[in-house]
């Protein structure tokens, strides 16, 4: 069975903000930068530039619920400068969120630990070897690199090396190349990634590392922001899926969407975790579901499972097609492992429940 996971913001909610608390977390980011900017008695120019960018985004949150809708407004206004500024700021924000961990907030962790158990289940039972099951793929709407950061603890490698190993796209650095294996595990970020490409050799060691909330860290974040502006790198990393649509709703050429659609086409079991199918993603979701004509079962792991099932039935499944079987998963403390996962009987796999 080919199993595809479709992740939304809820899949990283134990570490990163969801739409419900994004404003508050972003405001904490602004407070940190403001505090560090004033910490030595004089205003640091680099930090002030980042603070100004954060304040602009904060003002937008007075009128918009999510960064995605802010981005879509800039897109339709043709304001490329503000769209790129937003992307730059989001990349630095997610670097901040995935670097400070519990030192910044006792209830927050550097990694959503559900990924750790999930990765443990994904590995084949081969001693002294890290090898992933081939019949599992992940499509995620999230900008974060929670999976890759967690996987780096298994391989003891840098994030960009982990991306190569798990076939994660888009990549932080290097060209995409022609080494993609369609019949192996892969992780596709539909909206790209909010994680910076290193601009110094030393930055490679920093990526995905733990930091204390200090002035030095604020300077580092400010330098990353400055580098993103100078190199115009954000659009290569963080590109919303709907930016790849033509006015007639056809898709532009995109190796990210091509890989996602190929995964959708071979999907037999779909597991949805933490994704609410917002309207601004609807056309891309339709493209994905149009390719999922072989899906037999859809598991929904969300408190809004009934609403999500109704959206899929009414808006995403073509009329007249054979509907899949829907099964609602009633817990959220682990990523669901369906019984179709492998030949292992329904039981506990590590600390992950299977059914």
For the stretch 43-61, pLDDT in tens is 677 788 899 999 999 999 8
User: Would you say residue 147 has pLDDT above 50?
Assistant: yes
- Work out the average pLDDT over 65-69: 89
Tell me the H-state helices in 101-193. 114-122, 146-155, 159-166
pLDDT at 102: 46
User: Would you say residue 39 has pLDDT above 70?
Assistant: no
pLDDT at 343: 47
- Work out the average pLDDT over 157-169: 91
Structure confidence at residue 137 as a pLDDT band (50, 70, 90): very high
Torsion (CA) 109, 110, 116, 118 in degrees, nearest 10:
80
pTM: 0.90
What length does the chain have?
355
Closest CA to 95 of 226, 221, 229: 221
Structure confidence at residue 164 as a pLDDT band (50, 70, 90): very high
For the stretch 223-275, pLDDT in tens is 999 989 887 877 788 999 999 999 998 989 899 999 999 999 999 999 999 99
For the chain, which residues make up each domain, given as ranges?
Answer: 1-15+112-194+243-355, 17-110+198-232
User: Would you say residue 169 has pLDDT above 80?
Assistant: yes
Going from the C-alpha of 81 to that of each of 86, 184, 239, 241, the distances in angstroms are 9, 38, 14, 19
**SS3 at position 311:** helix
Q: Rounded distance, CA 267 to CA 123, Å?
A: 20
Query: Cβ(149)–Cβ(109) under 8 Å?
Result: no
Q: Rounded distance, CA 180 to CA 178, Å?
A: 6
- Work out the average pLDDT over 199-219: 76
Name the average pLDDT for the chain.
86
């Amino acid at each position: 069975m080919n199993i595809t996971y479709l992740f939304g913001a809820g899949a990283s909610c134990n570490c990163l903000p969801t739409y419900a608390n994004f404003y508050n977390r972003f405001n904490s980011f602004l407070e940190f930068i403001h505090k560090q900017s004033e910490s030595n008695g004089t205003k640091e120019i680099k930090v002030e530039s980042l603070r100004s960018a954060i304040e602009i985004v904060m003002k937008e949150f007075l009128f918009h619920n999510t960064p995605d809708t802010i981005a879509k407004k800039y897109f339709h206004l043709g304001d490329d400068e503000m769209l790129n500024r937003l992307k730059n700021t989001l990349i630095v924000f997610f670097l901040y969120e995935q670097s400070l961990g519990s030192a910044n907030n006792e209830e927050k962790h550097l990694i959503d630990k559900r990924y750790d158990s999930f990765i443990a289940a994904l590995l084949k039972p081969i001693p002294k070897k890290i090898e992933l099951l081939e019949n599992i793929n992940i499509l995620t709407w999230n900008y974060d690199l929670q999976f890759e950061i967690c996987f780096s603890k298994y391989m003891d490698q840098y994030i960009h090396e982990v991306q190569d190993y798990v076939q994660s796209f888009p990549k932080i650095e290097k060209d995409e190349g022609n080494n993609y294996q369609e019949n192996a595990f892969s992780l596709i970020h539909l909206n790209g990634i909010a994680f910076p490409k290193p601009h110094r050799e030393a930055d490679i060691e920093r990526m995905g590392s733990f930091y204390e909330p200090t002035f030095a860290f604020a300077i580092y974040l400010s330098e990353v922001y400055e580098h993103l502006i100078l190199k115009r790198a954000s659009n290569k990393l963080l590109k919303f899926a709907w930016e790849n649509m033509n006015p007639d709703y056809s898709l532009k050429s995109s190796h990210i969407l091509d890989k996602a659609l190929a995964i959708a086409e071979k999907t037999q079991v779909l597991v949805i975790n933490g994704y609410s199918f917002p309207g601004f993603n609807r056309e891309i979701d339709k493209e994905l579901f149009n390719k999922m004509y072989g899906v037999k079962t859809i598991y929904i792991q969300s408190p809004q499972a009934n609403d999500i099932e109704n959206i899929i039935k009414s808006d995403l499944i073509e009329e007249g097609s054979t509907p899949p079987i829907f099964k609602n998963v009633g817990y959220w403390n682990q990523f669901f492992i369906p019984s179709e996962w492998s030949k292992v009987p329904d039981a506990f796999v590590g600390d992950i429940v299977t059914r």
